[in-house]
Each structure stands twice: as structure tokens, then as C-alpha cells.
Structure 1
């Protein structure tokens, strides 16, 4: 349906105004019809009485035949009634025709008045769209009468002010956390490595040091994942042309050793899939998908299928893998932060030590990065086990900053 005929507030106000005008006009016509009908009835009765009196006087003075005079009087009375009925029909016809014409004019006038009254609301909507697409620093600052629309604009400005302070605080927290959390872990890793490199370090201490390094590495990955998750949830600051096929090819090259060690065959069908976005975040999205597909797989005859391409103005990346069977009702929950399959389900190495397990942020980051790029993700379990994960990102971001309207499925974090 076109925008002109969309059921907007302006259309509804115009229709309500036109209906109220037509209803008031019909009531006025009905009242006028009753009034004129009674007035004409009384006028016809007076004329008939006057004519009868004149006829009686004429008969008395001239001696003419009274029967003919009565016939003439009755003919005049019928003519008076016919004139009354014709006048009433003409009046109702012209009144309805005039009401229809004036009703159309009133509808047009109502459309103009409704547009003028709702113009401040359009300003609120336009500002909200710009804020969603750019930054939270802009304000509506609506001027005019102190009415409901100005109250709405002021409330929206107050909400933007609170959100702006909140996001500024979040950005400062991310920056501080990046320094405060990484620094001690880097120091710990350096100290442990120095201790392990000492030639006289006992074997038991070396085993303890190796375990501590694994724990330290896992904490570094956890902090890195949390920081990326916080960054991907924020507004994008960089928009570059990125090809998902190139990112997938690079990630496959980097994951080749891990896939061979896990005895997982990687199959690719990569066609150009250019999109616009943050190259670092998109690279992390592709890496997380392929890394999870390799990690959660079978110990024998496992495979990962990677496909890229474009369709309907979107670049897409599809990653499918063999692996443990996942119930359909658990797929959406696996996409929440810190949600993952049990340790025994990481089938490439079911005896892996807990410190080497993922933090459960992989596909949470994938979903956040996709949404930040106005895209969506969808996951469905394969009948033979494993998942098929499909990511779609617009080739060009929407001009108004609106998110992709395509229905989305909540993804699962393997």
C-alpha cells in the first residue's frame, strides 16, 4: 500500500474531521427539513383557508354554483400541497449536493490542518531517525505552544540526554577496562614465562606454570571477547568496503592447522560478497563462526562448509558443520552470552582441560556485530547433528539507519 493511503495519524484525523462535518451537516439538513416542512404545511393550510373564505364570499355575493366553487377550491388545495412537496424535494436534493461538495472541501481543509498540527511530530520522528543513525548528541529543542507534542519532544530530549551520558560512561568504561584488565594479565604472562624459561625450574613448577599460562590465556580471551561485545553493541564509527569472501578465505588459511589437527575437512564455495562496515568487527564475526564450527565437530569424518555470495542487496555468509545434535528449542538460547554446550559436547577433544574451553561469547559477538551492521543471523540444527548458520548484511547500510526488516531468528552459540 502506498504511503499516501497508509493509515497514518494524519489520515485518521482527516477522516474523523470529515465524518464529524458530514454528520453535523446531516443533522442540520434534517432539522431544516422538519422546520421547512412544518412551515410550508402551515403556509399551505392558511392559503387554503383564505381561498375557502374568499370562495364562500364570492358565492354569497354572486350566487354562482357552490359545487363548482368547491371543486376549484379543492384543486387549489392540491396544487398548494404539490408545490410544498416539490419545494421540499428540491430543498433536500440541493442540501445533500451542497453538503457533498462542501464535505470534500472540508476533507481537504482537514488534511491541511492535520498536517500543520502534526508537523512538530514529524520533526520529532526525523530527529529520532537521525539520532539512531548517527549519534546521541542531537536534540529536538522544539519551540512553540506548550502542548502535548512539545511535552513529547521535551521528554524525548531528556531521554536522549540520559542515554548520551550512559553511552559516554560505557565508552569510558570500555577504554579503562581495556587498559586496567589487560595490563595485569600481560604482566602475569610475562612473569610466568620468565619463570618457566629458567634452566633450574623443577618439572612440577613447569607443569604448574603451563596450567597458569592456560588460565591466563583464557582470561585474556574472555576480556577480549567482552570488549569486542561491548564495542559491537555501540554505534559503528568506521564504514569501509569489505568482502566477506576475502575474510572467509583468510580465516580458513589461519584455521587450517587447527582443522587438520581436529581431522575436520573444510569445504568452501566463496563468491564475492561485498558489504559496508567495520573491517575489524566483520573479521571477528567470520573468525568466530568458522572457529566454532571447527571446535564443535566430530572426532572422525567431520566437515565444515563455508559459502558466501550476494542476494537481494545483501552479502551473506553460511557456515554449516557436522557435530553434536542440538534440540531446536535450545538453538536460540545458545546465542546468549556465556551460553555454550557442555564440555562432553566439544567432540573434537572431549577430554580437553576446562581452561581451554571457550567463554561462550563467540556467537553472541556474531549476533551483536551483525545487528550493528543492520544485518541478521539465523541458525537451524542439522538433522544429522551440527548447525547451519546464515548471516546476512546489507551491501549498503540503510540511509535512515533503520535495522534490516527481514525477520530474524535468534542464533545459537556453539
Structure 2
């Protein structure tokens, strides 16, 4: 059972009121009992009673007085307990209402933090207007933290964009100069071989820069989502990669029923492309590749499996870290699966990898279905 702070406050205040009421009821009981004991039959009244001096009559009067005391004390306990129960219930309800009103700013902070965590929109602020108390200080501190985070992310984005631009320019110039040098009429075989090696190295650096830029851009939440059939995107990617699969002698097996997701077209294509490239690159000659799409309720799934090298179960989580590669693998830059994870999270999706029996890896990406994302948004706008 999830006991909220509001419930704890209400129980605390109701419990304190109950304890105080019980103490007050017990005190009244003792005082009233003492009063009745000394004043049930006043001393000045007893001699006036005819026959009081006789022993039977005196016992009858004293018995009636004791019964009166017992009835009065019982009535006090019954009515006092009933009244106390009603008042405690009212106190609990009042404490519940007061605690809810007092904690409303805290709930506002929580809701804002939850929205920011899910949407990565750091421009939203709590902007709490109220007295200068602890809640106001908490809200202002949270707003200040969001402002610093937004500034840090914006600085990171500008740095990546500027660095990528600055690095692309010299690499483009290098590629042009090498290409011109190797095409000269007097270029010998050694120059051409050196130029080919330099061009290959230049292409690796360009791919690394593009991967870093894509990784940085895909860390942000995707706000502009459109309906995209994951099966169509996968089919288009497989057609482009079929020559590479044929060259590596990899047999493709596809099961691609319609699976419409809410996603960014460029990022979704990059996600599928990275997974297909990774599965082909890390496959064995004459191996196999299975690609499947599936629609299940509010989500769609893309699953790809290959017959590559054996991967230990404890290594699967680290495969999604940037620049991480297996000890036996020196190909690529180690950014492919990192970009896949970033794109999946930017779409509020999930990704997981599992070792495949006999070697290889099975990667499953789950994304929200278009109907589950776009239909509620359309209803809210209308």
C-alpha cells in the first residue's frame, strides 16, 4: 500500500486529536465520579427522609444512590465515546482537506518534474506564486535547477553543432585534395594507393562525426511525430542493404506485418539502418538475419537477430554505451547501438539486447503506436 504524505498527515492529526480526546474523557470521568460519590445524597437531605435512620431504608437509599452513580457514569462514557468518535472522524476529514491544500504546491512541483522527465522540455517552469515559505523556496530552487540544465543542454547542442561544422570543413577539403592528387596524370601507383588509404581514413572520420552529431541530436525528445509504418521503413532499408548482405553471404528472413508508430521519419530510418548495418557487420559468413515487425496494442516492436559471435549476457547492457565494442570486435566506432538507444528513448520507447543461442544477438525496440500517441493529442486540440 502506498501511504502518501497527505494520508500520514491526516492520520497524525486525527491520532493526536484522538489521544487528546481520550485523555479529556478520562479526566471528566474521574472528576464526575468523585463528584457523584460525595454528592449523590447530600448530608443535609438525608435526615429529612422519613425512616432514613432505619437500617433497611438506609440500605435502599444507598443502593439507589449507587445505581444512579453507575448509570450516570455509564451514560457519560457512552455519550462521550460516541461524541469523541464523531469529532475524531471530522478532525480526520478536516486534516485531510487542510493537508491536501498545504501540499498542493508540492504536487505541482512533482507534476512539473514528471512532465519534464518524460518530455525533456526544460523550458517549463513551476513559477509558484505564494508566501515566502518552504514550498516557495523549493519551487524556486527547482526552477533555478531547470534553468541551469536548459542552459547546459543548449550549450552542449551549440558546441556539438559548431564542432561538427568546424571538423567537416577540413575533412571535405582533405577529401577533395586527395581525390585531385590521385587523379593527376603523373600520379604513380604508390600515390594512388596512399590516396585510397587516406580517403578511407577520411571517410571513417566523417562517419564518426556524423554519428556523434546524430547521437547528440537524438538525445532530445521528439515533439513532431507522424504516423510511420515500421514495416515500410524496414523494407526500404533492407532493399538498400541487400547488396551488402549478399556480399557477406547473409541470408535475410523477414516478417513485416504493418506496425504504425508515431515517430520522426529521419530518426526512425536511422534507427532501423543502424540495427541492420550492425547485424550484417557482426554476422558470420554464410550466416542468417531475421527481421520482424509487430503491433501489440499501444506499442509496436521491431526485432532483429543475427548469427554473429557469442555475446555474454553481462555484456549486453554495455553494448549501448558510446564507443563500447566487444573485445573481439575492432570494426566500427561503437556508436551504432548508442544512437539506437538515444532515438528509442527520444520517442518514449525502449530497447533491449539478448544473447542468441549459438551466437549472435537479438535486439528488440519498442515504440508507442501512432494511434495511442496521436489520437489523444488530436482530441486534446479539438
TM-score, with length taken from structure 1: 0.85
1:359 to 317, 333, 341: 333
Partner residue in 2 for 1:144: 130
Of 102, 108, 117 in structure 2, the residue corresponding to residue 123 of structure 1 is 108
1:231-270 alignment runs, 5 A limit: 231-270=217-256
Q: Which moved more, 1:109-118 or 1:315-324?
A: 109-118
Whether 2:183 is the aligned partner of 1:197: answer yes
Q: Could you tell me how far apart the structure 2 residues matched to 1:270 and 1:390 are? A: 14
Match of 1:217 in 2: 203
Cα shift at 1:175: 2.0
Q: 1:97 corresponds to which residue?
A: 82
Count residues with an aligned counterpart. Answer: 374
Check conservation: 2:218, 2:342, Cα contact below 8 A: yes
Give the Cα separation in 1 of the matches to 2:223 and 2:196.
39
Cα drift, residue 131 of structure 1: 3.7
CA distance in 2, matches of 1:103, 1:52: 43
Is contact 1:130-1:400 (8 Å) kept? no
Q: Within 5 Å, which residues of 2 pair with 1:22-33? A: 22-33=18-29
The answer to whether 1:36 aligns with 2:22 is: no
The answer as to whether partners of 1:129 and 1:400 remain within 8 angstroms in 2 is no
Which residue of the partner structure matches residue 13 of structure 1? Answer: 9
Rg (Cα) greater in structure: 1
Q: Does 1:388 align with 2:362?
A: yes
Q: Aligned match of 1:183 in 169, 188, 209?
A: 169
Match of 2:63 in 1: 78
How well do the aligned residues superpose, as a CA RMSD in angstroms?
2.2
Indicate conservation of the 8 Å contact 2:222/2:264, yes or no. yes
Q: Which residue of 2 aligns with 1:304?
A: 289
Partners in 1 of 2:295 and 2:177 — Cα distance? 49
The 1:390/1:193 distance shift into structure 2, 3 A limit, reads: same
3-state SS of 2:168 partner: helix
8 Å CA contact 1:323–1:386 kept in 2: the answer is yes
SS at match of 1:267: strand
Alignment counterpart, residue 319 of structure 2, candidates 324, 329, 334: 334
In 2, the alpha carbon distance for the partners of 1:400 and 1:52 equals: 86
Alpha-carbon shift at residue 399 of structure 1 (Å) = 10
| Whole-Å separation in 2 of the counterparts to 1:384 and 1:26 | 72
Offset of 1:186 from its aligned partner?
1.1
The Cα shift of 1:7 comes to: 2.8
Conservation of the 8 A alpha-carbon contact between 2:262 and 2:374? no
Q: 1:397, CA displacement in angstroms?
A: 4.2
TM-score (ref. length: structure 2): 0.92
